Amino acid sequence: QKNEEAVEMISGLSDLLRNTLTNSAEQLVTLEDELHLLKKYLYIEQVRFKDKFAVEYCIQPESLACQVPNLLLQPIVENAFKYGIAKS
């Protein structure tokens, strides 16, 4: 179990970093792409914090094609962990 989690976590981190580097010049991405990246980040945090939080998505399918600023969500969620969950 631990080895599988470690492999998944490293793979997710690799995807996260690769996507960040590949799309760094893009100012806008689809909400779907932004959520895909966010889900990779959240998986890493779920492994890190075990059962201390749960994530629920409530997203209208028609909004997935909307353009949003690149890397909009991940820093917001990261700050929630840094100043919220990690402190408790």
Tens digits of residue pLDDT in 15-72: 888 887 887 778 999 999 999 999 989 988 888 888 788 889 999 999 999 999 998 9
- Per-residue 3-state assignment (H helix, E strand, C coil) for the chain: CHHHHHHHHHHHHHHHHHHHHHCCCCCEEEHHHHHHHHHHHHHHHHHHHCCCCCCCCCCCHHHCCCEEECCCHHHHHHHHHHHHHCCC
- Identify the pLDDT of residue 83: 86
Q: With bands split at pLDDT 50, 70 and 90, how would you rate the model's confidence at 77?
A: very high
- Identify the pLDDT of residue 59: 95
- Identify the pLDDT of residue 76: 92
Q: What is the pTM of this model?
A: 0.81
- Identify the pLDDT of residue 63: 97
- Identify the pLDDT of residue 87: 67
